[in-house]
Amino acid sequence: MAIPLKYTFKNFQNRKTTSIITLVGIALVVFVFATVLMMAYGIQKTLVSTGSPDNVIILRKAANGEISSIIDGETQAVIRTLPHIAKTSEGTPALSGEAVSVINLEKQGGLSNVTVRAVSPEARFLRPQIKLVEGKWFNPGLKELVIGESVQKNFTNMEIGSKIRISGENWTITGIFDTDGSGFDSEIWADAKEMLNALNRGNSVSTLTLKLDDIENFEKFKMAFAADRRLTQFEVKGEQQFFEEQSESLAMFIKVLGIFITVIFSFGATIGAMITMYTSVANRTVEIGTMRSLGFSRRSILTAFLFESLLIALTGGLIGIFFASFMQFFQISTINFNSFAELSFKFALNPDIIISSLIFAVVMGFLGGFLPSVRAARMKIVNALRSS
């Protein structure tokens, strides 16, 4: 039978100082680990929520983002003739040709890139999640624009009525919109025709976003798309899938870098746990000898000490996650590798991150506690008793 758990718990309480120091070390490492994962997940969540599940995006093959894609006017006309495209309430095809470019704007600490999205009037029909929180929508044909809430928060002089200089001309901010934390919040939107003129892009857009009459018809739409020889240089994707792919490289970079740093930190925490457990074994040599005399097996001793180490690590892990969870209230921004523009996002926690962080803590506890526990279990009873 195993040594009672209360023995482990009481020893944990009895050696508060050393246990707490080890626990804090593990909690800090888990905090960093969880925060890195929350950052990567936050980026993914933001970009995935940018796309709508029933929207479809068309872009040039091999373009690794909207900014490197181009669709000429002729191709746009061909796409408009494809079957299964839904109609707006005005009866026009639910399709928005969007030109994406990047401009520099001033923020605290210098300049940063912002995505400017030139959209067709149908864009609002395609993205009903967009809510105007202040001002009014831009007027087609005028040099007006609306900005996402994150742009307003992060950049200077972003009030309604303020001017933004694009291609040597002043554009007036008429409204501020919110999309519930999606990537659009970090963008500036303007009328497609007006912006294409300003940018001298003729009628070439970056992408076409459209809504299908029924998302179940996606495969049929893809087949019709693939069957048209004029569209061989273009590809069609679900909008959500596209934005998810857009998040992969940045999220992966943050994960790899973050985990690499955390693993280095974890060596320190593991050694800390090991020192604590070696001290614990050394201080309890007589107790080990006594328990072995009474008939407790080597395995019971090993389990009891290993459990103690895991208990410290798990408690540290839970504390680390607890504090990391508060990071969800923070919003930060970074440069998206695909758009080269700033993307605001919130740290986001999910059950997978909690489980991964706890496993990480338990692994640290196991590695730190294993050798001391083996030492305790392998002690000769007579030698252990003699140390009294």
Partner 1 sequence: MKPIIEVQNLNKVYKKSENEIKVLNNINITVGEGEFLALMGPSGSGKTTLLNLIAGIDKPTSGNIEVKGVDITTFGESALAKWRSSNIGFVFQFYNLIPVLTAFENVELPLLLTKLNRAQRVKHVESALKVVGLGDRMSHYPKQLSGGQEQRVAIARAVVTDPLIIVADEPTGDLDRNSATEILTLLERLNKEFKKTIIMVTHDPHAAERASRVLHLEKGDLVDNL
Residues that bind partner 1 (CB under 8 A): 1, 3-4, 6-7, 10-11, 13-14, 286-287, 289-298, 381-382, 385, 388
C-alpha angle 140-145-151 in degrees, rounded to nearest 5? 155
User: Pairing state of beta strands 95-107 and 110-119?
Assistant: antiparallel
Whether the Cβ atoms of residue 159 and residue 173 lie closer than 8 Å to each other: yes
Nearer to partner 1, 218 or 296 (CB): 296
Q: What stretch of H or E contains 248?
A: helix 239-283
Nearer to partner 1, 291 or 324 (CB): 291
User: Pairing state of beta strands 131-135 and 234-238?
Assistant: unpaired
Minimum distance between the CB of residue 380 and partner 1, rounded to whole angstroms? 8
Minimum distance between the CB of residue 302 and partner 1, rounded to whole angstroms? 13
DSSP state of 171: E
Q: What stretch of H or E contains 117?
A: strand 110-119
Minimum distance between the CB of residue 14 and partner 1, rounded to whole angstroms? 5
Nearer to partner 1, 8 or 209 (CB): 8
Nearer to partner 1, 4 or 202 (CB): 4
Of 324, 340, 335, 339, the closest CA to residue 154 belongs to 335
Minimum distance between the CB of residue 307 and partner 1, rounded to whole angstroms? 15
Nearer to partner 1, 109 or 295 (CB): 295
Nearer to partner 1, 62 or 294 (CB): 294
Residue 235's region, left for phi above 0, alpha for psi from -120 to 50, else beta, is beta
Whether the Cβ atoms of residue 246 and residue 63 lie closer than 8 Å to each other: no
Minimum distance between the CB of residue 377 and partner 1, rounded to whole angstroms? 11
End-to-end CA distance of the chain: 26
Nearer to partner 1, 6 or 229 (CB): 6
Identity of the amino acid at 14: N
Give the Å distances, CA to CA, from 353 to 32, 37, 340, 361. Answer: 12, 7, 28, 12
Alpha helices (H) along 118-238: 123-126, 149-154, 192-198, 218-227
Minimum distance between the CB of residue 154 and partner 1, rounded to whole angstroms? 55
Residue 271 to residue 73: CA distance in whole angstroms: 64
Minimum distance between the CB of residue 375 and partner 1, rounded to whole angstroms? 17
Minimum distance between the CB of residue 311 and partner 1, rounded to whole angstroms? 14
Nearer to partner 1, 317 or 372 (CB): 372
Q: Where would I find the beta strands (DSSP E) of the chain?
A: 55-60, 95-107, 110-119, 131-135, 144-148, 163-166, 169-178, 187-191, 207-211, 234-238, 331-335, 342-346
Nearer to partner 1, 227 or 294 (CB): 294
Minimum distance between the CB of residue 304 and partner 1, rounded to whole angstroms? 11
Of 95, 55, 39, the closest CA to residue 255 belongs to 39
